[in-house]
Amino acid sequence: MTIEYINGKFLTPGEAAVPVEERGHQFGDGVYEVIRFYGGTGFMLKEHLDRLERSAEEIKIQLKDGIGAIQKIIEEGVERSGMKDCYVYLQVTRGAAPRNHLFPLDTEPSIAMTVKPAVPLPQEKVNEGVSVITHPDERWANCYIKSLNLLPNILAKQTAYEQGCYEAVLHKDGRVTEASSSNIFIVKGDTVITTPLSREILPGITRMAVKDVCDIGAIRLEERHFTVDELKQADEVFVTSTTSEVLPVTKIDEKPVKGGSPGNLTKLIRELFCARTAES
């Protein structure tokens, strides 16, 4: 069953209420994670928690009881849900206080969480690939922080949806950064290429897993910037995220990628990734 949690209490779904002066609500003053559980085990849970801790530190939120206490909340929530395959959404905000741009004094962070069933992607998307659009990257300068401030991402994703597409691939000064809610990879020949980590992109956990499986599978991977033209001329393209896993892209701005079908390297990487999740 679906689980909801806020500040020490597990609640009946729909019971939770957010104070009007909650800073996450009024300012987007918080950070979050989405964690996939496979067979009752959190996939790369430590890496997700490490990223949450780094994000909180970057916006100067102190986790009162440490990241270990948050891990216990997550594990209890999953156990209460009775679900083996689920998504955990967890967010930490600076808390509730009278509205003021300055940090409030003596206010404890607020922790909220939901645990919901994992819904696999439709098999047709995996088999046939998805369509994407290209879109200007209009986000703030610190995208490496997984903050609640997602309005530019939402607008880009909605634009893609309204054009019948799955994702919006973002670009800045002619360089591809990432997509609205995923990292992006291209394949040229026998080489997989992805944007290097910087303040401009989120250090995706699935991105990290793909790097690992490429190493295991002796697949050449290069981290470098590439242009929108290179994206459109790639042999293969795929996106990665906790919810998309490894998903082939077969059309960009209404034009097919190469032959218009998922490529062999993308299929292999997805197989290796799925094998890894089965072992988690």
Q: What is the DSSP string of 75-86?
A: HHHHHHHT-SSE
Is 9 a residue of the active site?
no
What is the phi/psi pair of residue 261, to 5°?
A: -130, 155
The token pair at 123 is 């098999």
Which DSSP letter does residue 261 get? S
Contact predicate 86/116, CB 8 Å: yes
- As a whole number of angstroms, the distance between CA 175 and CA 231 comes to 10
Of the candidates 39, 28, 249, which has an alpha carbon nearest to the alpha carbon of residue 139? 28
pLDDT the model gives residue 167 = 98
pLDDT the model gives residue 60 = 97
- As a whole number of angstroms, the distance between CA 201 and CA 27 comes to 22
pLDDT the model gives residue 98 = 95
Nearest-5° Cα angle at 111, 41 to 104: 155
Contact predicate 183/177, CB 8 Å: no
pLDDT the model gives residue 56 = 98
pLDDT the model gives residue 12 = 82
pLDDT the model gives residue 13 = 82
Q: Of 125, 146, 232, 251, which is the active-site residue? A: 146
DSSP 92-117: EE--B-SS-SSPPSS---EEEEEEEE
Q: Whats the size of the chain, residue-wise? A: 280
pLDDT the model gives residue 150 = 97
Instruction: Provide the pairing of β-strand 9-11 with 220-223.
Output: unpaired
Domains and CATH numbers, the chain: 3-117 (3.30.470.10), 123-279 (3.20.10.10)
pLDDT in tens, the chain (280 residues): 799 999 999 988 878 788 999 999 999 999 999 999 999 999 999 999 999 999 999 999 999 889 999 999 999 999 999 999 999 999 999 999 999 999 999 899 999 999 999 998 999 999 999 999 999 999 999 999 999 999 999 999 999 999 999 999 999 999 999 999 999 999 999 999 999 999 999 999 999 999 999 999 999 999 999 999 999 999 999 999 999 999 999 999 999 999 899 999 999 999 999 999 998 7
Which DSSP letter does residue 48 get? H
Q: Where are the extended beta strands (E) located within the chain?
A: 3-6, 9-11, 30-38, 41-42, 86-93, 110-117, 130-136, 167-172, 175-179, 183-188, 191-194, 220-223, 236-241, 245-252, 255-256
Predicted TM-score (pTM) of the model is: 0.95
